Amino acid sequence: MFRNNKGITLIVLVVTIIILIILLSVSFTFILGENNIIDFSKGYVSASKKEILFDEINTLLLKYKLLKMDDKNLTITEYFNSFDESEGFSSILNNKNGTYTLLKDDAEILINESEVLDVK
């Protein structure tokens, strides 16, 4: 009279596979589709690199101000040219309007003698 059901029926197996396919397609779209998570995270990495560079140059500007207290003839151009290539600085350009463009690695940093104005 009573049937003893042991094992998985074909219907349950098919339903499980369909659910897994749906979950897989949603996750692939989330990872590889338009506005995907990989591109989203690259934007945050880029922003964090700019913030790190911003803080690093601000720290160097503070050191410059301290050195300038001892040596009144020290210019910001001389200060940044004192760093060698191993520290990533390639050059500093005087923009003739009180600002300077500092080239470090692949970034351009716009500074004046007291603060960082922009990081590109």
- How many helices and strands in the chain, by DSSP H and E? 3, 4
Task: State CA 73 to chain mean position distance.
Answer: 36
Looking at residue 19, what is its pLDDT? 97
- Look up the domain containing 91 and give its range: 61-120
Residue 6 pLDDT > 80: no
Q: Is residue 102 part of a domain?
A: yes
Number of domains in the chain: 1
Has residue 92 been placed in a domain? yes
- Give pLDDT, residue 20: 96
Residue 87 falls inside a structural domain: yes
Does residue 36 sit within a domain?
no
Q: Is residue 113 part of a domain?
A: yes
45 found inside a domain: no
The answer as to whether 81 is a domain residue is: yes
Cβ atoms of 102 and 109 within 8 Å: the answer is yes
pLDDT tens column, 71-117: 889 888 888 888 776 677 778 888 989 898 988 878 888 998 888 89
Report the percent of the chain where pLDDT is more than 70: 91
pLDDT (0 to 100) of residue 46:
79
With cut-offs at 50, 70 and 90, classify the pLDDT of residue 32: confident
Has residue 49 got a pLDDT over 60? yes
